[in-house]
Structure 1
C-alpha cells in the first residue's frame, strides 16, 4: 500500500495542490491567476459576471461568487465540471516548474484533499468523500510523468 499524502491549506505541506495556490497559467491566450478562478468562472455563461470574476484578485472571493446560487449555473455544469477541473489542474502543473516538481516528488503516493468542508472534491474529513481533486492530481501526475519520459 502506498503512502497517503493529505493536503488542504496553502500554508501547510503540499499547499501547491490547493486550487487557491498562486500558480497562474495560460489557456487559450487567457491568463488565469489560480485554478479556482478558472473553475469558478466556467460555472457561468454570463459574460459580464465572468469578466467581473476574472478581475478579482482573491481566489476566495471568486469562490464565494461561484457558490452564490443567485447566479444560475450553466445547464451542463454537472457533466462538465470534472473535465474543467482536469484541464486547469493539468495546465497549472505543466506551466509551473516548482509546483510540478512537488507533484512529481509524491511518487505513487495517494493524494487526498482532507477537509470536512467538501464531500465531492475532498474526503469529507472522514474518508467518505469522493476526493475528486486528489484523483485529478494523481491523473495529472501520471500524465506529467509520461511527458517527461517521451
Structure 2
C-alpha cells in the first residue's frame, strides 16, 4: 500500500468503534448516516469500502436528520481511530509535511475543492505532533 492510500477513508484498514470492528473508516462513516437497522446491517456486512460507499449513497433509506451537522465529527472520529489504533500509521502521519489533500475529483466537499478530509488529517497530525 502506498503512503497516500493510508490517508484514504477507503483504505481497508480496520477500526473498532462503538463495539464493532469496521473494515474501513468509510464503512463506519456510511453506516453512521442512518438510524434504520436494515441499512446499517447491510453496510456492516459489506467488506469492500467502495461498495459500502455505494450502498450509503443509494438513498434507499432516509439519512438521519442531523447528518449535515455531525458528518464532519463522524469522519474525524473514524480518521482518529485509524491512527490511534495503528501506531505505524501514526508515525507516517506525524512525519508528513505540508498540506495533505484528498485527491478525489468526484467529491468537492471531502476531496478537491473544500478538502475537508485533508484538513482533518492535518488537524490530527498537528494534535499527534503536539503530544510528543
TM-score range, shorter chain: over 0.9
Query: C-alpha separation between the residues in 1 aligned to 2:62 and 2:80?
Result: 27
Alignment partners' CA distance in 2, 1:33 and 1:143: 25
Superposed counterparts of 1:75-114, under 5 Å: 75-107=65-97, 109-114=98-103
1:118 equivalent among 100, 107, 116: 107
User: Are the equivalent residues in 2 in contact too, given 1:114–1:122 (CA < 8 A)?
Assistant: yes
TM-fit CA distance, 1:94:
0.9
Bigger radius of gyration among the two? 1
Contact kept? 1:86, 1:136, Cα under 8 Å: yes
Structure 2 CA distance, aligned partners of 1:51 and 1:82? 22
TM superposition shift of 1:73: 0.6
Counterpart residue number, 1:34: 24
Structure 1: runs of 5+ lacking an equivalent = 1-10, 124-128
TM-score, normalising length: structure 2: 0.93
Identify the residue that residue 128 of structure 2 maps to in structure 1.
144
Which residue matches 1:45?
35
The Cα of 1:19 is off from its aligned counterpart by 0.6
Unpaired runs of 5+ in structure 2?
Answer: none
Across the two proteins, how many residue pairs are aligned to each other?
A: 132
Instruction: Please name the residue that 1:4 is paired with.
Output: none
Does the CA contact (< 8 Å) of 2:36 and 2:61 recur in 1? Answer: no
Higher percent of residues as helix: 2
Considering only aligned residues, what root-mean-square deviation do their CA atoms show, in Å? 1.3
| Maintained 8 Å contact 2:28/2:78 | yes
Q: With structure 1 as the length reference, what TM-score do the two structures score?
A: 0.82
CA distance in 2, matches of 1:25, 1:80: 19
Larger strand fraction of residues: 1
- 2:130 & 2:85 partners in 1: Cα distance? 16
